[in-house]
Amino acid sequence: MEIYNEPSEGSNGVRSIIEDKDGYFWFNSMFRYQVYNNKFTTVNNMDSTFYKREKSIGSLDGKYDGNLNEYLSIAKDNNNELWISTYTSGVYHYDGQKITHHIVREDSAEIELFSIYKDHSGTLWLGTLKSGVYKFNGQDFERFIH
């Protein structure tokens, strides 16, 4: 997925946007964008757009351009670390240096995830397609029973 300016250029849609602790914007794509305050900047003696694009977290899951290229939802925890919810590949926690993969299962089947949310107390929650709500217990995501 890439960010496009015209509908005819194609897109999977921007499902989630967040700014990390270093000022980069993440738009559920294979790139992260450093957005400048001024309208234009000069790169290699040429006028450039108002952002700098860098490779994002896409291959940090150990695969070349792996599953993190197009995630559905992203949140920051109380330490400003990123938590990335994918549709069928669980949740990835990125602390700025390393990535930890959390598989979310019901019995042995992986859960289809839609969203991740951090509440006012810092607890992380997952919204799913067919499996209700999951809550992070400090180690794993477990089904929330009300």
> Could you write out the DSSP letters of every residue in 69-124?
GS-SEEEE-TTS-EEEE-SSS-EEEE-SS-EEEE--EETTEEPPEEEEEE-TTS-E
Phi and psi dihedrals of 8, rounded to 5? -70, -15
pLDDT digits (tens, 9 = 90+) for 40-92: 455 555 555 566 666 556 555 455 555 555 678 889 999 999 998 888 889 98
Looking at residue 95, its amino acid is D
Q: How far apart are CA 85 and CA 93, in angstroms?
A: 9
pLDDT for the residue numbered 96? 82
pTM: 0.73
The whole-number average pLDDT for the span 11-36 is 69
Cβ-in-10-Å burial (0-12, 13-18, 19+) of 33 comes to buried
Q: Residue 39: pLDDT above 50?
A: no
Q: In this predicted structure, what is the pLDDT of residue 19?
A: 83
**Residue predicted with more confidence, 9 or 71:** 71
pLDDT in the model for residue 124: 98
pLDDT at 38 over 50: no
CATH number for region 14-138: 2.130.10.10
Helix, coil or strand: residue 8: helix
Query: Contact, 134 vs 104, CB < 8 A?
Result: yes
pLDDT digits (tens, 9 = 90+) for 103-123: 999 988 889 999 999 999 999
